[in-house]
Chains A and B, each alone.
Chain A
Amino acid sequence: MIGNLDYATLQQIWWILASVVGSLFLFLTFVQGGQTLLWQIGRTEQEKSLVINSLGTKWELTFTTLVLFGGALFAAFPKFYAVSFGGAYWVWILILFTFIVQAVSYEYRKKPDNLLGSTVYELFLFINGSVGILLIGAAVGTFFTGSNFVVNEYNQVRWTHPLMGLEAAFSLFNLSLGLFLVFNARVLGAMYLVNNIDFKGVADFEARIRRSCLMNLLYALPFLLYVLVSLLVMDGFGFDSNGVVSMVPHKYLANLLAMPQVLGLLLAGLVLVIWGVVLTGLKSSDKGIWFGGLGTVLVGLAVFFLAGFNNTAFYPSKATADLQSSLTIYNASSTHYTLTVMTYVALVIPVVLAYVAWVWRQMNAKKLTTDDVTGNKAY
């Protein structure tokens, strides 16, 4: 049945699937957010242990989702993979570095004889949560602001900016999106910790986390507003029925109006995140993460849909480089056959989500207590 779908439909399905994975990653960056909160909210070793052990059962999910995001883009949109990784070299390398150092830090931080000392591993976690997320945001920002590359007739890419991708971090829009993601991750991190930790005996610790949830939303707001307003007024990269790319005035505003569902996702997402913050920061509920998480997923979907649908080039090359080299979900994708095979494989995604959710419930049924982090089985 999937084999009968036409090519364009499959390409759209895979843009949606990639967007879902990317948006779930943004939700799961509560791990990175929590990592950057560690020194701020954890005043005693016990409090720090609670934070690390709470995030410690989840960090691999975030990591794996990022890897899957890369793998899914490789399989479904190999031209994006080739162009972006091979061209915007340094931004990706630096992002990867922050994840390499993260991967050992939970396990090694408290182990005796760990060579670098626990502070260095905590610093690794901080770098991953700050620099890593900031650069991911900047890289996603280039979906709207464009990059500097030329693709030749053999589909070989040449990057035309000497900073090889790092230039993404020097755009106010990209930087704002990155900072928004960093603060949003911290908001989510606080929500998750409130949800997962049993604060018996450490009430002021709880108060600190709840307050930081609220404060980080306030820090995030100016960047969010700058990104949203820019999106409404900026020119975007559209293409016509012949695939010719051009700058279209108010392209993303036009996309929102042409796709009211996306506008709905965006608004609903923002409301949910704010409601999650209200629950966590102003009320005493521990359910904020579900609203904040779902809200983040919806906002993420809206962002990716804005970039890729309605005849928009999702990975554009700036007019100063070569507009016609811009990547669209139609010119960057795998073949009809490969997308069909991959769509069959994707049918197991609900099963994966189900067992992840089920194990999450099993593991989080009992909150993490101070007793749990005193044994030597803890991180």
Chain B
Amino acid sequence: MNQIDLNMVDWARAQFALTAMYHWIFVPLTLGLSFLCAFYESLYVRTGKEEWKKIAKFWMTLFGINFAIGIATGIILEFEFGTNWSNYSWMVGDIFGAPLAVEGIVAFFIEATFFAVMFFGWNRVSKGFHLFSTWMVAIGSNLSALWILVANSWMQYPVGMTFNPDTARFEMHNFWDVLFSPVAISKFTHTTSSSFIVGSLFVITISSWYLLKGRHTAMAKKSILVAAVFGLLSCLYAGMTGDESAYVNASTQPMKLAAYEGLYTGRTHADLVAIGVLKPGPVADDDPFIFSVKIPGLLSLLANRDSNGFVPGIKDLVYGNTGQNIMGVNAKMELGRMAIADLASYKNAKKAGDESQQAVSLKKFNANKDYLGYGYLAKAEDGIPPVQTTFYAFHIMVALGCLFTFFFLVFLFLGFKNSLERNRWLLKLGVISFFLGLLASQAGWIVAEVGRQPWVIQNFLPTHVGTSNISAGNVQATFFMFLVLFTLLLLAEVKIMLKQIKIGPEEV
């Protein structure tokens, strides 16, 4: 194996975080707002009222500004797997490449083709076909989310594949297992429903600002009603799918679950931490909290669907727990190191043409191959993700998700009573709500991605093994290139967006 440059690993991770998080500023808005545009235009086509058309066109203008930068920041992600994570690309390309290609074939072309109609087709195609195109943009964007999330889910829960020692890579043997894995289903539904929330909050933010300023009030109120209904339904759905995600985590990524719950010592009848402040630094005793509010037994209920079920803590998972039949990271590391040695001796025997040694090494390798990834860890504690980051990100996400549910309810209630303008405190909260939505959405991805460290492929490939064999200087250089360029484009986007909001629907 090549020598690993840890500095390079850090820069490559920083770059992935940077580009993915920039991209994720724009994507949830695309996913959510595309449907809202489709709703508004549907109302126009059904009622024939010009005001709905004006509303639809206004939100489409903002959608278009956001969509362009979403595309710009997205292309790099598809190729970054190759440039910075070339060993990863080789080792899992047989499985991971497929959803990316499918995404291109079945989803991106729908977006690209119908986006042009949505924006330039008002006078070129029929009313019905235009509406159809708007719907296709919404469906196409969400379909592309499906495929990239299938790919991501496979990294979290690698199924339908086996390791081939001859090619030194993982190879797919069941596409359906990859597509319909429980992680893929919960991740897709949770990610899209939470993005619908972000899209709805965007509409409410801008409409609230109009109401505070007393401008475009009729349009703002109409926009709010539709967005609040969509947002509320999405909140309920996001709650259900979030619960499902945690339940799936309990069996597929128990370490992640333990990290975002701050659970160091496993127990039956485990409590759910509603609010908590973790002690800084390493945890010595059983109570990692300075302060916490706990709900008795709820974690066991959520994780096992049984309030008496056992939920393993970080210590159980790292050092093992014979009583609960849990093998620790330390034990897995030993088996993993044996697997790596047997793989090397298999390779050597193959090179030397020694068939009997080849067979012996292969047999030994196969016995421990499920622990291959653990062999690359330096110490058992490396199996623990950054607990503080994961814990706080998770709790921020959940708290905001609950807040949004009430928020949409109140907006809906006051919207129907036509008394939004009298509640200026609510409108002020409305103006910042989109930014809270973005925060919750980013926090969700931090839980998903930081919480699964040290793995890029859960249990099989540690992150530091996946990089390209290039010097840190190259990655550092491109990191700053992206930072400068994306920041510049973001500033341009925000300025343009603010100007269009100021101009408002009248002139668009």
Contacts and interface: CB of A to CB of B under 8 A. Distances in A.
A171 B323 CA distance: 66
A108 B68 contact: yes
A100 B485 contact: yes
Interface in B482-508: 485, 488-489, 491-493, 495-496, 498-500, 503, 507-508
B106 A348 contact: yes
A67 to B, nearest CB: 6
Main secondary structure of the interface of A (DSSP, over half): helix
B79 A338 contact: no
Which residue among B97, B100, B493 has the maximum number of chain A CB atoms within 10 Å of its CB?
Answer: B97
Interface in B59-79: 64-65, 67-69, 71-73, 75-76, 78-79
Interface string B103-133: 1111011011111110111111100010001
A108 B492 CA distance: 8
B125 A363 contact: yes
Which residue among A53, A108, A116 has the maximum number of chain B CB atoms within 10 Å of its CB?
Answer: A108
Nearest to A69: B104
A309 interface: no
A75 B78 CA distance: 12
Contact of B470 (A75, A89, A104): A89
Contacts of A337: 171-173, 175
Nearest to A79: B90
B116 A76 contact: no
B89 A86 contact: yes
Given A96-B76, A345-B102, A363-B120, A78 B489 contact: no
A11 B181 CA distance: 28
Given A81-B93, A99-B75, A338-B172, A68 B496 contact: no
Interface string A87-114: 1011011001101111110111001111
Nearest to A360: B113
A62 B503 CA distance: 32
B347 A103 contact: no
Given A97-B481, A345-B106, A362-B125, A78 B496 contact: no
A272 B97 CA distance: 35
A75 B97 CA distance: 4
Contact of B492 (A64, A116, A341): A116
B79 A85 contact: yes
Interface string A114-154: 11100000000000000000000000000000000000111
Nearest to A103: B72
A156 interface: yes
B83 interface: yes
Contact of B124 (A83, A101, A112, A363): A363
Contacts of A84: 82
A200 interface: no
A349 interface: yes
Contact of B100 (A57, A71, A111, A348): A71
Contacts of A93: 83, 478, 481
Given A103-B75, A107-B68, A58 B116 contact: yes
A289 B123 CA distance: 25
Interface stretch (A40-48, A157-165, A183-191, A274-282): A157-165
A85 to B, nearest CB: 3
Contacts of B325: none
Nearest to A162: B471
B90 A155 contact: yes
A82 B94 contact: no
Given A64-B108, A103-B69, A114-B496, A74 B93 contact: yes
Interface residues of B, number: 84
A344 B380 CA distance: 43
A70 B78 contact: yes
A248 interface: no
Which residue among B76, B113, B481, B488 has the maximum number of chain A CB atoms within 10 Å of its CB?
Answer: B113
B95 interface: yes
B86 interface: yes
A356 interface: yes
B290 interface: no
Contacts of B488: 115-116
B331 interface: no
A342 B101 contact: yes
Contact of A155 (B82, B109, B114, B167): B167
Contacts of A53: 120
7 contacts: A71-B101, A86-B86, A86-B470, A112-B499, A342-B98, A345-B106, A352-B105
Interface of B: 1-2, 64-65, 67-69, 71-73, 75-76, 78-79, 81-87, 89-90, 93-98, 100-106, 108-109, 111-117, 119-125, 129, 133, 164, 167-169, 171-173, 175, 347, 351, 468-470, 474, 478, 481, 485, 488-489, 491-493, 495-496, 498-500, 503, 507-508
Interface of A: 53, 56-58, 60-61, 63-64, 66-68, 70-72, 74-76, 78-79, 81-87, 89-90, 92-93, 96-97, 99-104, 106-108, 111-116, 152-159, 164, 334-335, 337-338, 341-342, 345-346, 348-349, 352, 355-356, 359, 362-363, 365-366, 372, 376-377
Q: 9 nearest interchain CB pairs?
A: A86-B86, A78-B93, A85-B82, A75-B97, A68-B104, A103-B72, A75-B101, A74-B97, A86-B468
